[in-house]
Amino acid sequence: MDWGEIEAGPALDRAVAEQIGWHVRRIVPGRQVRYQLIRPDGELEGTFNAEQDAWLEVPSYSTNLKAALGLVEGSEGEFLLRRAADGGWWAEIGTTALEAATRSAAEAIARAWLASRAAGDSGGG
């Protein structure tokens, strides 16, 4: 999944969640297929009729500032967040900077966190 092309929202949240360790397990109790959303700690978050419904239950990293800030709590190095003159946001985690005209601070943090993971920085999470 190329997170650089994804709009903020459920698909970008899923990209972050997968990096953290969230996953969906397909089960077949009887003749009906169900999907279980598993948290990074291995605990069951919930069971759903469709896989896409399960992924909608991960934290909203790209739209919720509190969830996005949780990504950087375990990060090593500096974390910087700046508001650009054009109204966009700029974020840096560790040594990886993401310069983009993101619409929200949460989106900038989520994208910078993904970029730091891709670059091999200690992105925490």
- First and final C-alpha spacing in the chain: 19
d(CA 28, CA 26): 7
pLDDT tens string 15-33: 999 999 999 999 998 889 9
Q: What is the pLDDT of residue 124?
A: 55
Length of the chain, in residues: 125
| Domain extent listing, the chain | 60-125
Q: What is the DSSP-derived secondary structure letter of residue 122?
A: -
From edge to edge, which strands make up the β-sheet containing 34-38? 23-27, 34-38, 44-48
Give 77's contacts (C-beta < 8 A, 6+ positions apart).
Answer: 93, 94, 95, 121, 122
- Token duo for residue 100: 């983009």
Closest CA to 99 of 85, 42, 69, 63: 85
pLDDT tens string 95-112: 666 655 578 999 999 988
